[in-house]
Amino acid sequence: MGVRILDVTHAAAGPFAAMVLADLGAEVIKVEPPAGEFTRHSRPHLDDGSGPYGGRFAARNRNKKSIALDLADDADRATFLALAETADALVENMRAGVLDRLGVGWEVLNRRNPRLVYAAIRGFGDPRTGASPYANWPAFDIVAQAMGGLVSMTGPDPQHPMRAGPLVGDFFPATLAALGLVSAVLHARESGRGQFLDVAMVDAMMAMCATSQSMWDYTGTPYEPSGNRSAEAVPFDIYDTADGHCAIAAPVDGHWHALCRIMGRPDLIDDDRLASTMSRARHRDVIDEVVGAWAASHTTAELMELLGGLVPVGPVMGPREWAADPHVAGRQMLVEVPHPHHRPTIEIACPIKFTATPANIHASPPLLDQDGADLRAEVAPTAEERPSS
């Protein structure tokens, strides 16, 4: 890839963005405080917690190098600035103004390296790209999901709003930031000019929840959560099976007709109440009763055998089921990664698949300052010759 990125991140969003870029082949240098980024020490651990990193750190920091720098220290700041002169891009997810106060913000780095792309992920964005009264507020995934619309769309009903389980409020903004950074690096290579870009976590969630805005704008009514159901598509739900749970989605005529035949209910195809997608939505209780009873009389494996390839279907799975699933194996989505002190761990692979330049996990998460000596030696002359701010 031939791209060097400084990763000045912590927690979830920033590390994930930088990891995606590392998976795609960028040289990513994680700049950590002397004590290490705090998720290094977060559970789960393979032992009593005294290891070099925990599972959360591992899941977001593979394929990276590490250097420990105290950016409040003049010598370490000089090393950082010298590294910035060698980099194509930087990604950070501190609160607005934190790196500026340390003397390593966008304006300083842009003077040092006009080609540098500077990508920031913040809860409410950066004043450089748009004013927000909340710009200095801290934020986590649950805040982004709540303010960005996802919580209002999720849950069993409007009285019980619910956040999504995964850190969507971190990882979706991170993915957009990685995409924006690549776009800006391409522009910099053509023009010689870097730029500042940022993604606000709340903004990213709003973009993800565009259906809610469309519903409000077109009809004046809010998008109300309905659990696993869809307001417009029936059947479209997670159904109980004899031994678990299974998703079945057959809202369009072709899939609905196939499902009716497989269930042994071809009479439903000719039922006037169920003749179209819209009419089926109006009679969802009739359909859910029939499909629910039929699904419950079969095991999940039986439903997969009956419906697979004919009607959209999928079992509810997690890590236990992934380990035995042929799709997961065929797509090589679980990768064994060496651990420096313990048994190998199993990590989720990069989901972006290429035919010519495969993305993969090629390096374990780094030990703290694992690459510090080499990186300091590389930039030592520059760090000594140039002022630190």
Please give the torsion angle defined by the CA atoms of residues 71, 101, 62 and 326, in that order, rounded to the nearest 10 degrees.
170
Burial class (CB in 10 A: 0-12, 13-18, 19+), 355: exposed
Tokens for 110, please give them.
Answer: 């842009």
Give CA separation, 26 vs 176, 179, 185, 257, in Å.
17, 13, 12, 49
Tokens for 153, please give them.
Answer: 């769309």
Give CA–CA dist 256/311, Å, rounded. 8
Sequence letter at residue 229: R
271 is catalytic: no
Which of 91, 88, 65, 68 shows the shortest CA–CA distance to 79?
68
Going across the sheet that includes 4-8, the strands are 64-68, 27-32, 4-8, 89-92, 117-122, 196-200
Of the candidates 23, 88, 141, 170, the residue annotated as catalytic is 170
Q: Which residue in the block uniquely carries the two structure tokens 């259906």?
A: 211
Give CA separation, 25 vs 4, 302, 362, 381, in Å.
10, 42, 9, 27
Q: Enumerate the active-site residues.
A: 170
